[in-house]
Amino acid sequence: MLTKDIRQTIDNARDVLVGKIPNPQSQIEQITIAMIYKFMDDMDLESVEFGGERQYFVEELEKYSWTKIMSSQLGNDDRMKLYKEALEKLPLSNQIPKLFRNIFKDAYLPFNDSKTLTLFLKEIDDLSYSNSENLGNGFEYLLSIMGSQGDAGQFRTPRHIIDFIVNVVQPKKTDTILDPACGTAGFLISAYKYILQNAKDNNQVLTPAELTTLTENIQGYDISPDMVKLALVNMYLHKFKDPKIYEYDTLTSTTRWENYFDCVLANPPFMTPKGGIQPHNKFGVKANRSEVLFVDYIMEHINSTGKAGIVVPEGIVFQSANAYKELRKKLVDENNLYAVVSLPSGVFNPYAGVKTSILLLDKQLAKRTDKILFVEIKQDGYDLGAQRRETPDKNDLPEALELLNKWQDSIKTQSEFQTESKLVTIVEKSKLAEGGEYNLTASRYKETQDYSNCKWEMVKLGEICNIAR
């Protein structure tokens, strides 16, 4: 749980930087670099305390230790000079683990005000590596400040939507798990926490060997080196000692094409980048829209018993262009899709008003039913304004989760799915296929009530009452 002190420290650090670095992502990068810098020194001090030796700040790096950077005997200008030198030296030193070298790669200080740097570093100095769980939560809070990378069509998925999807997909401790457009690794961290909590709830706490296997089985790809850095830190702070996060272009590279997974969780980019995409010829659906290609990629890369939860723009579910129809046909006819969840249009506010849905894939479940469940979320526990204020009494997500779990159980047991919920529409796959559109919009298939055989006579409203205008 995020403590008030850690949240305040992060807010204070941002407040110091905002006058010099107005861009939120740049602020996050500077805080990330400083946090890891201090953590390495904390680990060195801890090692010495327990009778060991320093591991990182030794030999030619000794003079750059955080302790010496923060010495009260050092003036502001000298501190800035030393800090800048350190940012140049750390990514080049072989005594620094590759994980940290990657984080420090291309790092630099984007301002020259030594007093501001001292104020900033003093805030970071209040953070301690001794409680990495709190620091991990603090780092996730820091990442929540960063909303969108609009030019790349990337929007940070709200935490409650990530957790909802993970709770529906139910990753297992033995699953290999991938996010092919991982950003800051939100889905991967949520899956990890879900598995740990599920084990605890069932009195089956994971053994050290199982924990090691779990962390090795969780992987993420991202095309952006900045996102990779943030994801590495996020996972490291959540006890992944060797995070499997790779800088990788999922849509144009083939070097990881042969890697398949039990579980895929993703909110891939929603657009065609400037200049377009030049995908390789391994995709089953020919398209230049990134959201189409990512869904196709995920279908191709979950194994025969695999499952997935994917956030997609609303266009995927109804647009009539050939690539969209071909993708939907593949989802339905090849037994990938078993449910679709429609989200409110303001979920990504204030960064984007894009309407989204969640595609839920499970190759085993989809083979065992000739129907698809549609769930319409009208309220997600937050108002749909720019500030997204919490409204706990207006939240369809708990009911939706219950319905989706019940739908899964009914397919597994081949029993009848019964519900009176207004959130649900069930449609036969054969009906979806009519006309070749495979439209995945629930409202298209809702039946209007036929009152022609009603036992009461049908009359015009004006014949039985006065209508005030």
Tens of pLDDT along the chain (469 residues)? 556 788 888 899 999 999 999 888 889 889 989 988 998 898 888 889 888 889 899 999 999 999 999 999 999 999 999 999 999 999 999 888 888 888 898 899 999 999 999 999 999 998 876 655 666 777 777 777 654 334 344 456 788 899 999 999 999 999 999 999 998 898 999 999 999 999 999 999 999 999 999 999 999 999 988 788 888 888 887 889 899 999 999 999 999 999 999 999 999 987 655 555 678 889 989 888 889 999 999 999 999 999 999 999 988 999 989 999 999 999 999 999 999 999 988 777 655 567 899 999 999 999 999 999 999 999 888 877 666 777 888 899 999 999 999 999 999 999 999 999 999 999 999 999 998 999 999 888 876 544 455 556 666 666 677 766 5
- Amino acid letter, residue 16: V
3-class DSSP state of 307: strand
pLDDT in tens, 334-361: 999 999 999 988 777 655 567 899 999 9
pLDDT of residue 203: 93
CA-to-CA distance for 132 and 117, rounded, in angstroms? 24
Paired sense of beta strands 356-362 and 337-342, if any: antiparallel
CA-to-CA distance for 297 and 221, rounded, in angstroms? 13
Write down the residue that tokens 């219950």 correspond to.
402
Q: If residue 465 lies in a helix (H) or strand (E), which one and from where to where?
A: none
pLDDT of residue 220: 97
pLDDT of residue 451: 45
Paired sense of beta strands 337-342 and 371-376, if any: parallel
Cβ contact 437:316 at 8 Å: no
CA-to-CA distance for 73 and 103, rounded, in angstroms? 29
Angle made by CA atoms 437, 313, 432, in degrees to the nearest 5: 20
CB neighbours of 361 closer than 8 A, spacing ≥ 6? 298, 299, 302, 306, 307, 308, 309, 310, 331, 336, 337, 338
pTM confidence score = 0.81
DSSP assignment of 384-435: SSTT--EEEEEE-HHHHHHHHHHHHHHHHHT-------TTEEEEEHHHHHGG
Token code pair at residue 438? 């495979």
pLDDT of residue 454: 55
pLDDT of residue 150: 41
